[in-house]
Structure 1
Amino acid sequence: MEVPTTFGGDDAAEMVTELRRNFLSGKTRSYEWRVAQLKNIVKFVEERETEIVDALRSDLNKPEFESVLFEISLLKSSCKVALKELKQWMKPEKVKTTLLAFPSSAEIVAEPLGVVLIISAWNYPILLSLDPVIGAIAAGNAVVLKPSEISPVTSSLLAKYVGQYLDSSAVRVVEGAVPETSALLEQKWDKIFYTGNAKVARVVMTAAAKYLTPVVLELGGKSPAVVDPDVNLKIAVRRIIAGKWGNNNGQACISPDYIVTTRDFAPKLVDTLKRELDRFYGKEPLQSPDLSRIVNSNHFDRLARLLDEDKVAGKIVYGGQRDKAHLKIAPTLLLDVPQDSQIMNEEIFGPLLPIIMVDKLEECYEIIMSRTKPLAAYLFTNRNNLKDQFVRTVSAGGLVINDSAIHLAVHGLPFGGVDESGMGSYHGKFSFDAFSHKKAVLYRSFLGDAPARYPPYTRGKMRLLSALMAGSILDIFQALAGWLTSARKEKSA
């Protein structure tokens, strides 16, 4: 089914009705259907790799290295994990029952939620569109994907090929901007998965509240990188650079947003950052083919305003070059930025990296905890006591010790936020769980019917059933003896 040129509320309602009818037919529930769709996602990214790389270059000037490694390869890996594990994920999970329900057995059955909406982001427009779709399909749902209009070439590519590779009776793509998204949000969904910013997330939650629709929100925040003087400095700096500028030139929700280090160590850290940045991107970074551009002029202007703020303008110690015609901003280091500056009070989402200096590294906790909880937090240290303290103290969607952003590729870890950095999580089995309802099922036979549960109620019955619920063998025997004694007395009377 091709999406109409103008897509409004009636079109959205008709589409959801059709998808729900197809879902209720049961076609998406079979293991075979799920596997076929997952295999076709792998087939799509393999057969259309060149077109995907070209689309990402057109939208973001994303280097081929980043496109292949962080979008195509991660997506294939996610699909292959699902294909390998799906049969196990779908199996009912056995659960122990209680003496009160004896004899019985119980299990938890994962069932698909129904028809789900996935609204994706522009910065990793292939990965962040199709990775949630993998979870939704693996769980047996019908899906509508709304790619971001800010990466229009990739959005069109998804609209063109998803219908060719996947079952269009159960998986659809809707292109467009605010009007189309609004039309979709007016509908009743069984789950909404949104990746983006907190402002739009509030709009999504408001729309979802009308039908009590559950949501997963993958947002962002100011992800700190705390650097202890006790590190292998060259490796630490390279890993910070890879997580910051090697991640879409800082346009990533898990990029390090600012560094905290000690005042004495800061000059050495800055010198090493400068040296490694020169080595990676050259003396003229705006000409480097290994840096993505800023996605559009609105984001370019926003980043320029952060740099031009009076409190910040004199703090640049490296970089700062700009080319608005080509939407390029060089990797930029800022030292000793005031805490009340704009750059320290909103997510940067770009190639600017403030460095905050403290007298003692432990002061980092006050800085981090004075802000909303970030999507990620990074610590570079060799000290085990500092690692333990950081894990105990810092609340974030995820923590990484001695690296940055790499946890995204570990399928066994849940990926998601907390507080304003999001709610819910996905990746690996967590994606399957995000789009499943865990249905409790208890099986009993007609044997073992306990008369103690039925009226007339007595104190002895109450003690026996309370003991059965508590599960204490001694209490059960005492209560049973008491109930039998009471029952005999009542019978003789």
Structure 2
Amino acid sequence: MEHSLSHVFAAQQERQHALRMTNAKERIAKLRRLKQAIAQYEDRLFEALQEDLRKNKQEAALTEVYFIYSEIDHAINKLESWMAKKRKAFTLTSFLSSNWIQYEPLGNALIIAPWNYPFQLSMSPLVSAIAAGCTAILKPSEYSPRTAAMMQRLIRETFPKEEVDCFLGEKEVAIELLKLPFHKIFFTGSPEVGKQVMKAGAEHLANITLELGGKSPVVIGPDADIYEAATKIAWGKLINAGQTCIAPDYLYLPEDAIFAFCQAYQAAINRMFAQADIMYPERYAKIINSRHKNRLEALLLDAQQRNAIILWEGKVNEEDSLPPSLIAGLSPDSKLMQEEIFGPILPIIPYKNLKEVITHIQAKPKPLAMYIFAKNNKFINQLTQACSSGSVCINDVLIQVSNPNLPFGGVNHSGLGSCHGFYGFKAFSHERAMMKQTRFSLSTLIYPPYQGKDRLFNLLKRWM
């Protein structure tokens, strides 16, 4: 079978040796070919994303397709400098030697992508793999089948299978792929599955990047503009119906600002996504499947059974949608406060002082993102210094991911490694230390025998 897993993997194992010899010009040509193919498939991709997630064309363009155009353009513009030698200083023991770092491709790469941004989160690591000179096998999520099928067609029409290929199917396909000795595994998904990927990768000591998730908190300071904060949080929470790994997960709010925030949040939703609290299906994505919707409804029910109060809830007319809601009075043991929500439910936790906010955040696993709305730099600095997260965005949400000059990634429970731009290139590369010794080498002075070299060793103690 031409596209069997074993056949393609063997072909890519062979091809990796030729790809490591490619220069920036050759890799850039492949990136341009990929961009051209995406442009030809653009309308079909929009249709697929509409069918899988009910993303409207504009949202799909901004968060999926145009995002990848930007990634490709950035890589094309910067690749030559990324591949160039990075000169490093010599030391006394390597006096006058030439020292540098050279990035070399890791080799054969496996990319396992999720369903929530199925095109962006498949193509972004693929751009990095191509830029780094790796072969790649892509496994998209089976939960977004139309987009996955479209990507497979695009990839197989654009690249030879010995360089890039795409395999569809249920989780069993991913399990089979993880048995193969890839040099690089790039996984995006939940921490639970990420642990399984890491265990599988350990069998072959693969280099692994895990882009996971977590409960990304939002903290609104006493001096924040509530209207502006509510508008941005509503957008960040409801784009893709909350099915975003860096979506605001829950909110810390000054006690006296709850009513004002609820009013501003509701108004913002009615401006952007709804009318009279009824969500527009052409602006508001669906929940990916009934299983995930049932999970979200169970989270709400669990919270209400623990005496939580729904402060506001929108309305939907579509069976595959879940209305946005604001909920308060949550028990710390409720599932809404223990699990990543990944939906349009926003818990509100009132606070009296910053210390209790910091204590609560520190008690949880480190999140993928943290959002702060405040003007006071002391307030901001206290939070960022005391609480760890993959990224921080101040006075906005989500947009940190759009800057390819910044690394994107989690820490501990929320991920391992970074991606985007140079950091994506680096994720698929080995940072190789290089040294070229001169004919005049001081290192021979430290060879045995050591008698009579006390002064030399005293000097080395000070300057080595």
Counterpart position of 2:244: 252
Alignment partner of 1:318 is 2:308: no
How far did residue 271 of structure 1 move?
Answer: 1.5
Q: 1:76-475 counterparts in 2 under 5 A?
A: 76-246=69-239, 248-280=240-272, 281-309=274-302, 310-311=304-305, 315-319=309-313, 321=315, 326-448=319-441, 451-458=444-451, 460-465=452-457, 467-468=459-460, 470-471=462-463
Quick check: 1:117–1:144 contact (8 Å CA) kept in 2? yes
**Residue type of the partner of 1:311?**
Q
- Tell me the secondary structure at the aligned position of residue 70 of structure 2: helix
Per-residue CA shift, 1:101-137, capped at 9, x if unaligned?
A: 1231111110000001000010000100000011111
Question: In structure 2, what is the Cα distance between the partners aligned to 1:198 and 1:415?
Answer: 16
CA distance in 1, matches of 2:364, 2:43: 42
Q: Which amino acid aligns with 1:336?
A: G
Amino acid corresponding to residue 47 of structure 2 in structure 1: D
Which letter maps to 2:16?
Answer: F
Query: Which amino acid in 2 is paired with 1:319?
Result: E
| C-alpha RMSD of the superposition | 1.8
- Tell me, in whole angstroms, the C-alpha distance in 1 between the residues paired with 2:133 and 2:224: 46
Q: Point out the more displaced range, 75-84 or 23-32.
A: 23-32
Task: After TM superposition, give the deviation of residue 463 of structure 1 in Å.
Answer: 4.0
Q: In 2, are the aligned partners of 1:252 and 1:349 still within 8 Å (CA)?
A: yes
**C-alpha distance after superposition, 1:410-437 (max 9, x if no partner):** 1111100011101100111000100100
Tell me the CA shift for residue 368 of structure 1.
Answer: 1.0
Quick check: 1:51 aligned with 2:41? no
Is the contact between residue 373 and residue 421 of structure 1 (CA under 8 Å) also seen in structure 2?
yes
When residues 184 and 299 of structure 1 are mapped into structure 2, their CA distance, relative to the original with a 3 A threshold, is same
Q: Is the 8 A contact 1:28 1:34 kept in 2?
A: no
Among candidates 29, 32, 40, match of residue 39 of structure 1: 32
The whole-number CA distance in structure 2 between the counterparts of 1:234 and 1:175 is: 44
The answer as to whether partners of 1:98 and 1:469 remain within 8 angstroms in 2 is no
Helix, strand or coil: the match of 1:415? coil
| Structure 1 CA distance for aligned equivalents of residues 169 and 311 of structure 2 | 41
What is the CA distance between 1:229 and its match in structure 2? 2.7
Moved more, 104-113 or 164-173: 164-173
Instruction: Name which of structure 1's ranges 11-20 and 185-194 shifts more when overlaid on structure 2.
Output: 11-20
Between 369-378 and 268-277, the greater mean CA deviation after superposition: 268-277
Alignment check: 8 A CA contact 1:55 1:154 kept: yes
Q: Shift of the alpha carbon at 1:199?
A: 1.2
> What is the CA distance between 1:362 and its match in structure 2?
3.4
2:378 maps to a residue whose letter is N
CA distance in 2, matches of 1:450, 1:121: 52
Report how far residue 99 of structure 1 moved: 1.7
Cα separation, 1, equivalents of 2:19 and 2:338: 49
Distance 1:304 1:163 in 2: 39
Amino acid at match of 1:249: A
Provide Cα deviations, 1:322-380, integer angstroms capped at 9, x if missing partner. Answer: 66x63101111112222221111100000100101112243211111111110000010
- The structure that has the greater radius of gyration is 1
Q: CA deviation at 1:468?
A: 3.5
Deviation at 1:395, TM superposition (A): 0.1
> Structure 1: 5+ residue runs without aligned partners?
4-10, 473-493
Q: Specify whether residues 238 and 445 from structure 1 end up closer, same or farther in structure 2 by C-alpha distance, changes over 3 A only.
A: same
- Find the residue that maps to 2:285 and give its secondary structure: coil
Question: Hey, what's the Cα distance between the residues in 2 that align with 1:128 and 1:462?
Answer: 59
> How many angstroms does 1:445 deviate by?
2.5
What TM-score does the superposition give when structure 2 sets the normalisation length? 0.96
Query: Structure 1: which amino acid aligns with 2:144?
Result: S
What amino acid does structure 2 have at the position aligned with 1:166?
F
Q: Which moved more, 1:444-453 or 1:206-215?
A: 444-453
> After superposition, what is the alpha-carbon deviation per residue over 1:172-200, rounded to whole angstroms, capped at 9, x for unaligned?
11111111111100000101000000111
Q: Percent identity?
A: 35
Provide, for residues 445-493 of structure 1, a one-character-per-residue CA deviation record: whole Å limited to 9, x for no partner.
32245653222212x4254145246428xxxxxxxxxxxxxxxxxxxxx
Distance 1:463 1:258 in 2: 63
Q: CA deviation at 1:279?
A: 2.4
Q: Distance in 1 between matches of 2:359 and 2:33?
A: 48
Secondary structure in structure 2 of the residue aligned to 1:445: coil
Verify the 8 A CA contact 1:114 1:141 in the aligned structure 2: yes
Query: Do the aligned partners of 2:372 and 2:380 also contact (CA within 8 Å) in 1?
Result: yes
Q: Is the alpha carbon distance of 1:466 and 1:218 closer, same or farther for their aligned partners in structure 2, counting shifts above 3 Å?
A: farther
Partner Cα distance (1:351, 1:163) in 2: 36
CA distance in structure 1 between the partners assigned to 2:443 and 2:23 by the alignment: 39
